[in-house]
């Protein structure tokens, strides 16, 4: 497995959501899985996967360092009220990352990318985030994980206090088609110390839910 340099988050490392989505494919079991990132995922490096006796999958870099772990997740649900496309477009115009972004070249939400997903979450009055998402031609389940990633982070990121993804579990019920106009919504569930728990949902062009995620972000 190789995470191509195009799919970066912080400079020189893989975007958390996309990487978790790729790592999730290594687990053979049915049902949702949870991915824990132990170190920043390297780019353009061959990663090896190994099954452990307790049912986990470990992903290691060429030096044998543990990068991530994949494990079965208990079934869970996420319910966040949908936001219409027009409202998502409107709130996205005030995306905080346009003026203050800790990683402006992020594949998912970086405003300095012209080949990224362009998911720019604005903040609604009730604290939820919402972003329009036009599905790219090379869409995959990992793309959905990526789209579900950053809108959760922007529910907690504030100027001068960046966060990175530490753990993510997702359920993808359907992969949207290229060109579909979707909306991603996110919210913070709780925050304690350097850790914050967030949730996200992806809605399709007809307002149908396509996937949801829960994640733990860690302040750096």
CA distance linking residue 82 with residue 44, whole number of Å: 36
Check residue 159 and give its pLDDT: 86
Q: What is the pLDDT of residues 131-183, one digit of tens each?
A: 999 999 999 999 999 999 999 999 999 888 899 999 999 999 999 999 999 99
Q: Render pLDDT for 88-109 as a digit per residue (tens, 0 to 9).
A: 999 999 999 999 999 999 999 9
Confidence tier at 220 by pLDDT (50, 70, 90): confident
Q: What is the mean pLDDT of residues 23-43?
A: 91
**Do residues 168 and 197 lie in contact, with contact meaning Cβ atoms separated by under 8 Å?**
no
As given in the structure block, the two tokens for residue 32 are: 């949702």
Per-residue model confidence (pLDDT) at position 28 = 81
What mean pLDDT value characterizes the chain? 95
Cα(90)–Cα(104) distance, integer angstroms: 21
Closest C-alpha to 83, from 180, 198, 155, 184: 184
Secondary structure (DSSP) of 115-162: SS----PEEPTTS-EEEEEEPPTT--HHHHHHHHHHHHHTTT-BTTB-
Predicted pLDDT at 30: 74
Mean pLDDT of 204-217: 97
Lowest-pLDDT range of 7-16, 47-56, 147-156 = 47-56
Cα–Cα distance measured from residue 176 to residue 146, given in angstroms and rounded to the nearest whole number: 13
Question: Quick one: which H or E segment has residue 71?
Answer: strand 66-72
pLDDT exceeds 80 at position 42: yes
Q: In 10 A of CB 202, how many CB atoms? A: 26
pLDDT of residue 140: 96
């Amino acid at each position: 497995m190789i995470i191509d340099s195009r799919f970066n988050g912080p400079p020189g490392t893989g975007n958390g959501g996309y990487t978790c989505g790729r790592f999730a494919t290594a687990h053979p079991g049915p049902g949702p899985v949870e991915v824990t990132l132990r170190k920043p995922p390297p780019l353009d490096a061959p990663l090896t996967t190994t099954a452990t006796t307790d049912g986990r999958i470990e992903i290691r870099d060429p030096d044998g360092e543990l990068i991530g772990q994949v494990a079965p997740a208990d079934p869970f649900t996420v319910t966040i009220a949908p936001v219409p496309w027009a409202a998502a477009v409107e709130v996205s115009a005030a995306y905080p990352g346009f003026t203050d972004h800790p990683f402006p070249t992020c594949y998912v939400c970086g405003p300095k990318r012209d080949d990224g997903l362009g998911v720019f979450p604005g903040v609604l009055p009730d604290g939820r985030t919402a972003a329009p998402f036009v599905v790219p031609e090379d869409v995959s389940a990992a793309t959905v994980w990526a789209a579900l990633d950053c809108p959760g982070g922007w529910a907690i990121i504030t100027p001068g206090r960046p966060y990175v993804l530490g753990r993510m579990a997702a359920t993808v019920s359907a992969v949207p088609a290229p060109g579909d106009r979707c909306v991603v919504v996110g919210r913070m569930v709780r925050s304690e110390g350097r850790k914050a728990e967030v949730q996200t949902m992806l809605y399709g062009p007809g307002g149908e839910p396509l996937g949801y995620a829960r994640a733990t972000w860690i302040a750096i």
